[in-house]
Structure 1
């Protein structure tokens, strides 16, 4: 008679729920929604995680997927667009069943960022590429960090260098005893592309128009050329390193003269030629020095921050970048 044997029956994995709300269904938000929907079956199968999309907020309206009979009765049925209400949206995503809840802010809206401290304090996790939270008013940033004492997580890696692990790498280095000596970076792919292409064979304005047509710039190219976006990224890194910097502390030298900065967009695009002479002069200065032009953000060990166009030697690492590097 064969020996008896027994087999352990695996315990079914308990299904966990992560409720998700997305704010800002624009270009970034729409791509994220597609990724979330594509990931749902795999996460459920491999990780026992139900990724539950509970709603989407646009600039004026929000969409809720819910079973609240009273709410649905007032608005004509579930799964429709309703007037925008960020606090009601957050409460809907959080629910009252103790589930983990995550808000993903894909907007570039300061009003949305102002809600982060309250959401985090209520236990909602927040993930965002919105730079206005990390570089906005210092008291608000401090309130965001303090609100994380609730156990909620605030993740903002995509605010600097398009999601490359810069913020977390810096955090890990500091947490393990390293000292930050300096930061030098080319934080704008748009300005990197323009500097790499600006070799004197075409006017600078022609390159700006080409970058705009290719979608490399913001809808208003002045948002890139001003250097303000780069300054925001530098402030985020400075605060991560422990310096209480604000945008006003950054020595910022933009590429847009005041005469163009104040114009409507259409008129500014027509007058981009006014950038050509000063940029040609800077290029000539670089050639005379045997160097290259690069748009550089700098933070030194004393917390001094600057963003400007520099002439760098041809041996500098930034001289060997290509296009949007």
Structure 2
């Protein structure tokens, strides 16, 4: 009888002939370079696998890697004949070799494959527990219907069995199973078959997974941190194939994050959304542009700028935006604003995402809960969230912990100085913060260091603004509000429950000058110059200097202008520097001192960059 061998017939015929002839090797010429670590249409960084075992090739083929017809492998496998895959259109490519004696791969995972169109049928019921023959009836019924199954997952309690198949077969499978178990369903001992559509199946394959601890933990950990829920999973005792079912909408993200985290990618990737392109944001983007190649070459980290936004303009591209020319992308990218930013980040649903806030906007800070809940890490130069109500601060920290992502805000205090990280290290190692004394406003320190007979207060404040040390509205600095926020953040990170209103304020600029419009403020500020000059001369005679000091002691906080005598650590604080003294149970007699630049776009941007590196864990 003459018959058509169907799909893969030529491959299968060649395999049979090679086996019968005892060939040294079977060559299969096709339209791809060989087996890839993943689908290159989804993961551009996927690369050709040089060699893999027969079982690895079979697993990858069965789960969607359409390189060769799966039955082709068996005839030559039993004769231990290697298969070489070559590309007809790219004959110089090395291709992939399938053989038994494959050198161990550098990584435990050889490749990732997936089936996009997956339906899952679940048969369940309390009467299934301990009953012999239930699964036989399930699979006999499906076989009689000509339905092929590619994954099975059963609970250890035997109360349910889930079967994965193509969507074309799923409804027919449900109907057949309901007929088979009609009596049990009528009695309430079993439930009607449950059908779940819109799913995808992912298979992680590799011989080195066998007896290698931690593979599953690492895999599911990274999926969880990226907000990808596993619906069902299966792994045989051979430990060479770990398969799981997820929502189809998450497939692209899942494949990318697995490929990246399991070292199948050349680089670990971090996808950034940067909001705010002013002095700090602009400096950060320049630093990223200048350091990007070095990080790839020396640290194996690839930073992708996938979104950049201001209040008026924004650009988004999941393939990346050149940080050196982000301005051009924003011009062509459409309107900005918080709502578009939120929508684009959630819709793009990119793996290993980090939102970087270089603004001082309450609207942008209000996005943090939503982003963290969707497994997007947040790096904030914006102080508003961490200094908002304690309830909101605690909720953000808790959400980040629960979602396995980061909420980092080192630059909220001291620009690039490692103040918050140091406090966290002390607390986490069992120390307790007893007292905090600090000069935390680079702006005010610059102002008081600039005062002289030739430079009155009003001129010094204007210079601080022009040199980028102050906020665009310097009243935020002069009112002490900025220092209050910083002290609140430090106290909270030290383990204290404190609100901004709990901080006592001793201010040096009257409310009648701080009130009104910004123009009115500039008009009124010179009225303080004469008194400040008189007091400055007195301080110089007494060998004292002004410092705006934040203090946390005995569970209470205060900020205010203090006269610092010669010999005090704060006396010689230069320029816009910050300084902090931490008295702890371990550092009681000699407090820990941290000092350095506390303001300026470049150092603040560098601190933000350092937080981004902390998210990457390098």
After superposition, the CA RMSD in angstroms is: 2.5
Which is worse superposed, 40-49 or 110-119? 40-49
Structure 1 residues 67-110: Cα deviation after superposition (integer angstroms, max 9, x where no partner):
7xxxxxxxxxxx62245413212214533xxx211111111111
Structure 1 residue 94 and structure 2 residue 346: aligned? no
Give unmatched runs, 5+ long, in structure 2: 1-102, 108-262, 320-331, 578-618
Look up the match of 2:440: 187
Q: Which has the higher contact order (CA 8 A, sep 6+)?
A: 1
User: Among 558, 563, 570, which residue is 1:306 paired with?
Assistant: 558
Structure 2 CA distance, aligned partners of 1:151 and 1:212? Answer: 39
Q: How far is 1:248 from its partner?
A: 0.7
Tell me, in whole angstroms, the C-alpha distance in 1 between the residues paired with 2:462 and 2:303: 42
Deviations 1:259-288 (A, max 9, x none): 211232223212222222443464366457
Residue 512 of structure 2 aligns with which residue? 259
C-alpha contact 1:62 1:82 (8 A) present in aligned 2: yes
Spell out the pairing of 1:116-127 with structure 2 (5 A cutoff): 116-127=368-379
Distance 2:501 2:274 in 1: 31
More moved, 181-190 vs 201-210: 201-210
Find the partner of 1:30 among 271, 282, 286: 282
**Would the aligned equivalents of 1:217 and 1:224 in 2 still touch at CA under 8 Å?**
yes
Per-residue deviation, residues 18-69 of structure 1 (Å, max 9, x unmatched):
21111112221112122222333233333333322111121133211147xx
Give me the whole-angstrom Cα distance separating, in 1, the residues matched to 2:288 and 2:456: 43
Q: Does the 8 A contact of 2:550 with 2:560 survive in 1?
A: yes
1:197 and 1:39, CA in 2 relative to 1: closer, same or farther beyond 3 A? closer
- Which residue does 1:71 correspond to in 2? none
The superposition leaves residues 170-203 of structure 1 with CA deviations (integer Å, 9 ceiling, x where unpaired) of 1111111222121111111121122223355543
Contact 1:118 1:147 in 2 (8 A): no
Task: Structure 1 unaligned segments of length 5 or more: list them.
Answer: 1-6, 68-78
Could you state the TM-score of these two structures normalised by the residue count of structure 1? 0.85
Contact kept, 8 Å, 2:447 with 2:461, in 1: the verdict is yes
CA contact (8 A) 1:24 1:106 kept: yes
Larger proportion of helix: 1
Task: Assess, with a 3 A threshold, how the Cα gap between structure 1 residues 52 and 323 changes in structure 2: closer, same or farther.
Answer: closer
Q: Is the 8 A contact 1:93 1:101 kept in 2?
A: no
Larger Rg: 2
Say if 1:66 and 1:319 are closer, same or farther in 2 by CA, change over 3 A.
closer
Among candidates 47, 53, 66, match of residue 305 of structure 2 = 53
Residues paired across the two proteins, number:
305
Q: Within 2, Cα distance between the matches of 1:93 and 1:184?
A: 44
